[in-house]
Structure 1
Amino acid sequence: MTRAGWDRLRGPEPWTRRMLLGDLAIAAVPALLGLGIEELDNGSGWRMAASAAAVVLLTLLRRRLPAATLVVGSAVTVFLPGSFLVTTVLGWSAGRRIVGVGRAGAAFTLAFVAAVGLSVWHEWEQMQPLLMVVFSTLMFLATTVTPGLASRYWSQRRTLLSALQERNGQLMRERAMVAGQARLRERQRIAQDMHDSLGHQLALISVHTGALEVDPKLTERQREAVGVLRQASVAAMHELREVVGILRDGVEAPVPVEEPAQPAGRGVAGIAGVVEAARGAGTDVRLSVSGRPRPLVAACDHAAYRIVQEALTNAYKHAPGAPITLELRYEDDSLVVEIANGPAAGPGAGEVVSGGQGLTGLRERARLVGGMVHAGATEGGGFRVAGVLPYGAEPAGAAAVADDFGQQAQARGLRGAPPMDWSVVDRELAVPRRGPVGGLALGCGIAFAAVVLLVIVLGAGMLLVVGSLGDSMLDREGYDAVRVGESEQAVRDRLPSGENFLTAGADRKGPPRPEGSDCLALMAQEQPDSLGSDLIYRFCFKDGTLVDKQAYEVKQ
């Protein structure tokens, strides 16, 4: 039961040692300032101790019981002026932690009634009730309501930002899923078309070249050329199977066991095979490698293979019979792939089928891995293709579309190029997403504003007091000039107009008043040297005549 009670008082937030020390540090400030207030008010030792204990206790319980501590703190400050400043801390905590506008409004209203009502009741004999209500209301607004409203606004804005960011992340994840499903459907459609069309044509080429290879009418040279064509068609079928598998499932398709031929290596290691195939077809290709071979990332390795493959294909089509030189240079920071061919040895074989997009695709492929490709004619009438590829590079096309809310997607595991950074918005609003530093800074700002408002209220009160002193003070000569037995009207015409809160109730603290009389108490201009008492001049009237006048001291 003790542990359950302790857990209930501790509340939903973990009460760590760091939090306990922080609360004690927060309580120390109003407690020390409260001791000074008690000293100015001539408070006793037990009242100072009670004020400090109330401040510490209310500060520690404010997390679990924000509404109760707010009401109790507002009531306690009436009887313990030294605990007055804790209402700012309680108002800030209540505005942040009370759930629901109705409950928060009820808590602050009850605290206001307790503060103002008890103040009027406690000081009923000392001050004018209406003036006390106005002064207590201004003080409550400055020290309790203002921090509470600021805290509630800050908490709701932080919650709203967190909810918007979470909703944004959810929408981005859903959109990524929808886009991924759309891409998968399109890739499956493309894979099916490639399998049905290109696969069928390559299979026909392989079958016919296989039959032609065993034709006894062919010469040995022709049979070798047909064999090269058959091997090329088989390799193309394997590559097509790999591409279809990647498009459909995102993984390479496995090679059947009964097929002895393996897919061509699509990297720098497979360039030698491409060169040998070209030589087997009768093309003069010379390969040279310089520098110390170094490994490349997968994307760059594949790009080098495609550059060689596309350049050789262009040479076959546009310069048949021309010698080709292929050079691989491993330099310090990149691999240089250079393919050059001389002018055509003879007329072409007729119309050349070309989409005109091969070199464009090579340039884009190299750009995506951080490299470049140059292609152009040489002085001797030939053609040259050169590619520069880094050894290690991240894909340059990783920038995806910006999200609809302008938030950086990288923070949530997605890639984006946002037009707006939410961290800039947070800095502009001065509300960090995590950490107590921003809340402390905002709290200090609100506390400073509350102190400024409190100073203004006190200044206005002082001006009111100074303005009313002239209507409630009388010098000794004026007091001596008044004679008992004079008419009430004549006496009131010579005296100040009336009382103020400094003399409220002072007419009942002196000697007994004449029965049935109406008395007027005024503050003497010449006050005694002791700070704990005031000199009062009292004039009592009955039946339109001054029947008594007294000069006496009252304790403050």
Structure 2
Amino acid sequence: MDVSSKIQDARLRLVGPEPWSGRRIAGESALALPLALVAAGVTRLADGGLVLPALVALAVLALSPLRRRFPSSVLIATAALSGAAAGATLLLLVVACSAGRRIAGAGKALAAFCAAFAGYLLALLLTESGGGPLLVISLFSALFFMVIAVVPGLASRYWYQRRTLLQTMQERNAQLLRERAMVAGQARLRERQRIAQDMHDSLGHQLALISVHTGALEVDPALTGRQREAVGVLREASVAAMHELRAVVGILRDGVEAPEHHTDEAQRAARGTAGVEPLVAAARAAGTTVELRETGEPRQLAPASDHAAYRIVQEALTNAYKHAPGAPIGVELRYEPDALVVEVVNGPAAGPPPNEVVSGGQGLTGLHERARLVGGMVHTGRTGDGGFRVAGVLPYGAPEATTFVDAADDFRQQPSALPPGDGGATGATGTGRHQAGRHVGWDVDLNVAERELAMSSRSRAGGVALGCGIAFAVVVLLAVAAGVGLFFLAGSADKAMIDPAEYKDIKVGASEQEVRGRLPDGDTFLTTGLPGKGPAEPAGSSCLVLMSSEVGDSVRTEPVFRFCFKDGKLIEKQSYEVER
């Protein structure tokens, strides 16, 4: 491998397979430069020189951009640098947050943070001037490292994993909904094809027989003129029913309207508001009293709304024939400013209805659905005199222009599934078996989505509770450690400090036993390194060095009191400051 390949390989290892964008370079520079300046400034205050702050700043500039590419190595190196130079502490916090979210696996993260703490403690012990008890230094180092590195790393790791989990759950939920929608769509398509085949095989055959027989009966010379006219009405109705059946079968089978070449413009218009008058005329010819009224200025309707108006009148007349034979019927078309109102009202039945009335019970439900699909609504119910009223409100324009939503037809209020044996009741609002069956696929999808989102919410709540529990445990641990440390520090301070007034009260020449009885023994880590830093001790004497309860004139110096004993007496006492 030549030198250029080695250089290229090293560059890829450092920056990664993708080149840095200008935005990333600017962001890394904006982060690394302030960290380097802070590190240099803090080190300068603590050391007083220029070389060490410059080296620390260069190290920070080098480690900061590499924290994403090598999270474990940079964490360990930064921890060791922080132990040797306090100025790199802020970088340690940033690197710990980055390592917490980027180190894969809890075991690797634990090993990396433990190695980082070991490096931090080792560097601290090697650079500590004067030394001290290892247990005390380790305790305070662990406390400090936990606050600066471990807690931010845990918080960053928890936040990143929670965000990743939520994104994964949302993607999975969206995928499940798409799959369920596809499965439901395929099931509906198969069912529609089956229904279309059944309608074509059964109803098509029966209507063809009716058309043939009524055609033959119409030319029978034995019929009177009125009878021949009635037979002609039946033949025309059967032919129209065959055309409509063909269109419905095409919609069920292919999801589109039947080809228009089977129906001319006059036939299409006859299935809209223009066909209402022939419907009324056919009803009158059958001997039913029907009154047709049109009010307002007629306006052009959208094809779907126009056909819905025709179907409302047709279904209402059919119901009146079945359930109230002989009752007068009123049909009204009111062209309101924003919608067409179609109203069909029949009076009470003149006599008892026939014993056997063939009815599927789905006509009114179909009207509700048809009106809803075009943005309108249908109301059905009894009148005060015992009759029945069917009224529909249909917009003039496309369904998106105006939306009327009947509460009974709102698919969000439909049951997600029908219980076995329960077809649903059909009341004044027309909600029944057909309506529930039509929307059962949607309801299943919506309920599944709601359950998925509820599970996601519970998972988020559990994650938040777990994170809060971890944070609470860390805070309790820190509080206990801080309490123990403060208690230990207070006890050590009692063994190492005296007031300046007490120093003045002690006189040279007093017995050693009396003086030592008044003073603490100084056997604590706080006084470690103090003896030998002041003026030379008297020959053959043993000295006790204690700290002052007052602070010195400089943050680098510590005021101390020294008591020297010889031959059982206090032969010297001095007050001076030493550098820590």
Q: Normalised by the shorter chain, which TM-score bucket? A: 0.7 to 0.9
**2:412 aligned residue:** 399
Q: 1:150 aligns with which of 131, 150, 155?
A: 155
| 3-state SS in 1 of match to 2:132 | coil
Give the 3-state SS of the residue equivalent to 2:334 in structure 1: strand
Within 1, Cα distance between the matches of 2:59 and 2:416? 52
- Specify whether residues 46 and 422 from structure 1 end up closer, same or farther in structure 2 by C-alpha distance, changes over 3 A only: farther
Please tell me whether residue 43 in structure 1 is matched to residue 53 in structure 2.
no
Gaps of 5+ in 1: 405-413, 433-441
Q: Displacement of 1:307 after TM fit?
A: 1.6
Q: State the secondary structure of the residue aligned to 2:236.
A: helix
> Are 1:357 and 2:361 counterparts?
yes
Partner deviation per Cα, 1:340-372 (whole Å, 9 max, x = no partner) = 45688x989965624273674367447745523
In the aligned structure 2, how far is the partner of 1:343 from the partner of 1:511?
125
Measure how far apart 1:23 and its partner are: 4.9
Shift of 1:189: 3.1
1:468 aligned residue (471, 476, 492) = 492
Whole-Å Cα distance in 2 between the matches of residues 452 and 169 of structure 1? 40
Q: Report Cα offsets for 1:126-173 as digits up to 9, x if no partner.
A: 333222111111111111011111211222222222223333333333
Name the count of aligned residue pairs: 526
Q: Quick one: percent identity of the two aligned structures?
A: 49
Distance 2:227 2:284 in 1: 14
1:38-437 mapped onto 2 (5 Å cutoff): 38=43, 41-123=46-128, 125-254=130-259, 266-278=271-283, 285-294=290-299, 296=301, 300-317=305-322, 324-340=329-345, 353-355=357-359, 357=361, 360-361=364-365, 364-365=368-369, 368=372, 369-376=375-382, 384-391=389-396, 392-393=402-403, 396-399=409-412, 418=450, 425=457
Deviation at 1:463, TM superposition (A): 6.1
Partner-residue secondary structure (3-state), 1:399: helix
Structure 2 unmatched ranges of 5 or more: 397-401, 418-444
Query: For the structure 1 residues 521 and 28, does the alpha-carbon distance in structure 2 shift closer, same or farther, using more than 3 Å as the test?
Result: farther
Could you tell me which residue of structure 2 aligns to residue 411 of structure 1? Answer: none
2:273/2:307 contact within 8 Å kept: yes
Task: Tell me, in whole angstroms, the C-alpha distance in 2 between the residues paired with 1:146 and 1:343.
Answer: 81
Tell me the SS of whatever aligns to 1:177: helix
Report if the CA contact (8 A) 1:72-1:111 is conserved: yes
Shift of 1:473: 4.8
3-state secondary structure, aligned to 1:247 = helix
Q: Using a 3 Å threshold, how does the CA distance of structure 1 residues 61 and 376 change in structure 2: closer, same or farther?
A: same
Moved more, 448-457 or 162-171: 448-457
Deviation at 1:72, TM superposition (A): 1.3
Which of the residues 489, 498, 501 maps onto 2:525?
A: 501
Give the superposition deviation at 1:197.
Answer: 2.1
The code of the aligned residue for 2:233 comes to: V
Given that residues 297 and 393 in structure 1 are in contact (C-alpha distance below 8 angstroms), is that contact kept between their aligned partners in structure 2? no
Deviation per CA, 1:462-494: give whole Å up to 9, x if none. Answer: 6644542342357477694489xx9xx999778
* TM-aligned CA deviation for residue 185 of structure 1: 3.3
- Could you state the TM-score of these two structures normalised by the residue count of structure 2? 0.72
Kept in 1: contact 2:312–2:367 (CA 8 A): no
Provide the rounded CA distance (Å) in 1 between the counterparts of 2:351 and 2:545.
129
Separation of aligned partners in 1, 2:415 and 2:542? 82
Q: Please give the TM-score of this superposition, normalised by the length of structure 1.
A: 0.74
Moved more, 153-162 or 459-468: 459-468
Counting helix residues as a fraction of each chain, which structure ranks higher? 2
User: Aligned equivalents of 1:34 and 1:62: distance in 2?
Assistant: 17
Q: Structure 2 CA distance, aligned partners of 1:23 and 1:400?
A: 54
Structure 2 distance, partners of 1:18, 1:450, is 36
1:184: how far off? 3.1
Question: What is the Cα deviation at residue 89 of structure 1?
Answer: 1.6
Alignment partner of 1:555 is 2:560:
no
- 1:522 equivalent in alignment to 2:545: yes
Does the 8 Å CA contact 1:142/1:453 hold for their aligned counterparts? no
Q: CA deviation at 1:102?
A: 1.9
SS state of the match for residue 85, structure 1? helix
Q: Which amino acid aligns with 2:393?
A: V
8 A Cα contact 1:188 1:248, kept in partner: yes
Q: Taking structure 1 as reference, are residues 305 and 11 closer, same or farther at Cα in structure 2, changes over 3 Å only?
A: farther
Q: More deviation in 355-364 or 489-498?
A: 489-498
For the aligned residue pairs, the C-alpha RMSD in angstroms reads 5.1
SS at match of 2:525: coil
Query: 1:449–1:48: structure 2 CA closer, same or farther, 3 Å change rule?
Result: farther
Distance of 1:267 and 1:172 partners within structure 2? 38
**Partner amino acid for 2:141?**
S
Query: What SS does the aligned partner of 2:412 have?
Result: coil
TM-aligned CA deviation for residue 538 of structure 1: 8.0
CA–CA distance in 1 between the matches of 2:495 and 2:479? 25
